[in-house]
Every structure is written in structure tokens, then in C-alpha cells.
Copies of this chain bind each other. A is one copy, B any other.
Amino acid sequence: MSQTNSTTRWCPTPEQLMILEEMYASGVRNPNASQIQQITSHLSLYGKIEGKNVFYWFQNHKARDRQKLRHKNLPHPSDEASPPTSVHHEGPSNFLTQGCFQDATSQEMNLVGKLESAAAGGERQEAAVTASSSMEGDHPPRADVGFTVSSCLKPLKTLDLFPTKHEYSSSSSSSSKSSSRSKSTH
């Protein structure tokens, strides 16, 4: 059995890539766990894929797109690194920030944690909690944004929806990593 997915990283198939790109073009940018689950289930039919892959894909795609776009608009050859006149920046007006430092799996991991647990070719999806309504981070002027994708195959039908449970399943294994990432070269 070859660890198709152990040490190897996800290799998007053309079909998957196409669908993902179509979704992205349609406006999908930050799908939730539920959305990711659906997408994953859909794409899993084309090949092995996990929810986290979908999540990462959208994140990377968006970030890179933006980065590239930004690079294009870099006509600032005669300026310095000190824009004193603009007060635009809002710095941490709110001194409250939360994140993580060394170990501690935080934000994305939370979402990914669930994603990597389900889907992946099996029909084991169990995530679905539609609570709020809204779109992703960007909220285009339009209300409904539909993505045009082949909705032909997709056994997905019984999406669970049990919003009445909030138990922690974490094994709480104090994973102490605290190991500085090998900077290597640096």
C-alpha cells in the first residue's frame, strides 16, 4: 500500500485544479470547514485529496495572486522607506492581538485539524455547521456568488448539521515541541 499520502504532499490532478480554479474565479476564497468538506468530497472523486489541501490551496492561491499583482505595481523607484506623511497605517490601534508563538497549534490548524481528519476519499465527512451567512473575507458587492462547476458527480447529499455540541475531543497530549525550527542557512 504505499503511503500515498504520508510523506508525500498532495498532488492536485488537472481535474481538481480546474475545479478549484473555477471556484476561485467564481469568488470563493475562504471556504469554511463545511464548504471545504463539500469541495473535498467533490474533488476526492477525482483523486485523493484532503480538506486541508483545499484550505491551503485557497490560501496560497489568493496570497500568491495578490502578491503577483502587487509586484506588477511596483513603480516606486524613487521613494524611500519612510512615508511620514501618510498616517494611513493603522498599526495595532488595538493592542490586543492573539496568536501563537512556538508550538501551540493555532488558527489554521484548528480548521485544518478537522479537515485532515475527514474526507480524503472516504465518505467520512462529518463536518457541517452552517451558522452564519456571508461570504468569505472579501465581500463583493454582489450578494450571491455562484461558482460554475460541474455538479454532475457528487453523491454528497446528506450534509449533517448538528449544531448542538461543543465538546473537546482533543487528547490533550501536551506536545512539547518548543524546538526552534532549524533555521538552516539563514
Q: Which residues of A contact B (CB under 8 A)?
A: 3, 5, 7, 11, 14-15, 17-18, 21, 25-28, 31-35, 38, 52, 55-57, 59-61, 63-69, 71-72, 74-76, 78-121, 124, 126-142, 144-186
Dominant secondary structure of chain A at its interface with chain B: loop
Please name 16 pairs of A and B residues whose Cβ atoms are closer than 8 Å in the assembled complex, sorted by A: A11-B183, A35-B164, A56-B97, A64-B101, A71-B170, A83-B129, A86-B166, A91-B121, A92-B112, A110-B170, A117-B175, A144-B160, A152-B152, A169-B174, A170-B174, A171-B176
Indicate the member of A11, A87, A131 with the most B CB atoms within 10 Å. Answer: A131
User: Smallest Cβ distance from A149 to chain B, in angstroms?
Assistant: 7
User: Smallest Cβ distance from A98 to chain B, in angstroms?
Assistant: 5
- With A76-B168, A110-B171: A129-B57 Cβ-Cβ less than 8 Å: no
Closest to A136 in B: B25
Note all chain B residues with C-beta closer than 8 A to A175: 105, 109, 112-113, 116-117, 173, 178
CA distance A139 to B25 in the complex (A): 10
Note all chain B residues with C-beta closer than 8 A to A28: 161
- With A95-B134, A164-B129: A61-B141 Cβ-Cβ less than 8 Å: no
Note all chain B residues with C-beta closer than 8 A to A162: 31-32, 34-35, 38, 82, 85, 130
Indicate the member of A86, A94, A184 with the most B CB atoms within 10 Å. Answer: A94
- With A116-B175, A152-B152, A154-B152: A85-B166 Cβ-Cβ less than 8 Å: yes
Indicate if the CB atoms of A173 and B52 lie closer than 8 Å: no
- With A93-B103, A138-B127: A84-B149 Cβ-Cβ less than 8 Å: no
The answer, among B35, B150, B161, for a CB contact under 8 Å with A145, is: B161
